[in-house]
Amino acid sequence: MIRKTAWLAAGLALLLAGCSGGGGKVNPQLDAEGKSFVLKGVSAAEKVSQITGADSPNKTDRFAVYGTDLGSMINDGDKTYFVFGDTFGERAADQIGGGGSFWRSNTIGYTTDSNPADGIALDGMIADDIGLAKELLPSKKVDYDEMTKIPTYGIAANGALYLYYMSVNHWGDPGKWDANYASVAKSTDGGQNWTLLDGVKWPGDSNFIQVSPYKVQTGEDQADIYFWCIPSGRFGGVQLMKVAESDIEKADAYRYFAGIDAKGQPIWSADLAQAKTVVDDTVGELSVVWNPYLERWLMTYLKEGDGVVIREGLAPWGPWGDPIDLVTAGEQPGLYAPFMNERYTEDGGRTIYFTLSLWDPYNVYWFKTSLEK
């Protein structure tokens, strides 16, 4: 009887462990064992539409958004927020790159458009009392002090929105800039107002200045958020950190990928100095999502001078496949910031959509490509 009771208890423990993800079935998003690379290439990327600017279907100049860039996305319920960088309300018709009047360091548009095939129709923008897109994270706008606050990516967590950003000290040569620090802001009212969480910061000379987050469920009501991270500028490699969703506001709760142990399992350290590089390349404006068609991770980024590329990952820490050209600089001069969103796919994830910024005319566009395996 005792042996039977013990056997039943053990069986129940294993069942519960399997349901919770601990000791049972391994989450395929976190397991590279037995996997091989399956991404063979991508179809020619196609420009679908323009998202921002006076010439876009959204006519964002009505919100005093004549020129802007970036366009990383945050999903929250049925709404998707498009987060933009330095934004200008007026510009000369022949101006190239950032510049103009009515400068705001960051703005946000939002949509409930669930059909990516014909472009993105913005429902509106986070606006001030007179209907103009407002700056959400104010900056000093003083060169060699704080030139601007640039949002790098955000995520919905714990019933709030979190927006990671970098405080830029100075824009240098092309692809190079200096950061004061990276940090995060929080909104509990749908992006209308933001509070800076100054207790969560990374040093300006660290590898954790620009991030791409993704939430991985670890239990029915629990998740870890993984962040693929690069330094300021476009010439560093990718390092990895994670935090429990419930601890996102605790600086000392973040853990940094520090290598693989003898059993092939990831090592996590509380010391960012122990962080190891998971992708060694010249990486700018990266984006990482899980793709259900490949059942692999996808990473897109600007490879300075060449264009934007896509890579396949077997686990968050890799291995990562070789870069595959997504859009070349010859095809779209002045391109950068290729941001994906798991919400915007077709054919079970075979076709993916992404934003792409073009330096001329300094606006954000909507592109698509199909994956080949």
pLDDT tens profile 56-98: 999 999 999 999 999 999 999 999 999 999 999 999 988 999 9
* pLDDT (tens digit per residue) in 185-211: 999 999 999 999 999 999 999 999 999
Q: Which residues pair with 353 in a beta bridge?
A: 368
pLDDT reading at 280 higher than 80: yes
Confidence category of residue 12, pLDDT binned at 50, 70, 90: very low
pLDDT reading at 25 higher than 60: yes
pLDDT (0 to 100) of residue 26: 82
Q: Which residues pair with 296 in a beta bridge?
A: 291
* pLDDT (tens digit per residue) in 167-188: 999 999 999 999 999 999 999 9
pTM equals 0.93
CA 57 to chain centre: 25
Taking CA atoms, 280 is separated from 50, 146, 251, 258, 372, in Å, by 32, 29, 26, 15, 24
Average pLDDT of the segment spanning 4-19:
38
Contacts of 315 (CB under 8 A, 6+ apart): 29, 30, 31, 32, 266, 297
pLDDT reading at 24 higher than 90: no
Task: Please choose, from the candidates 239, 245, 244, 243, the residue with its C-alpha nearest in 3D space to the C-alpha of residue 257.
Answer: 239
Confidence category of residue 2, pLDDT binned at 50, 70, 90: very low
- Phi, psi angle pair for 252, to nearest 5°: -80, 0
pLDDT reading at 281 higher than 80: yes
Average pLDDT, rounded, for the chain: 94
Taking CA atoms, 218 is separated from 19, 26, 193, 230, 245, in Å, by 10, 10, 30, 25, 10
pLDDT (0 to 100) of residue 3: 38
Task: Please choose, from the candidates 341, 329, 32, 115, the residue with its C-alpha nearest in 3D space to the C-alpha of residue 213.
Answer: 341
- Amino acid type, 118: D
* pLDDT (tens digit per residue) in 124-151: 999 999 999 999 999 999 999 999 999 9
Question: 21-25, 63-67, 119-123: which range is least confident on average?
Answer: 21-25
pLDDT (0 to 100) of residue 93: 83
pLDDT reading at 23 higher than 70: no
> Among residues of the chain, what percentage have pLDDT more than 70?
94
Confidence category of residue 19, pLDDT binned at 50, 70, 90: very low
Of 169 and 220, the one with more pLDDT: 169
With contact defined as beta carbons under 8 Å apart, do 80 and 340 qualify?
no
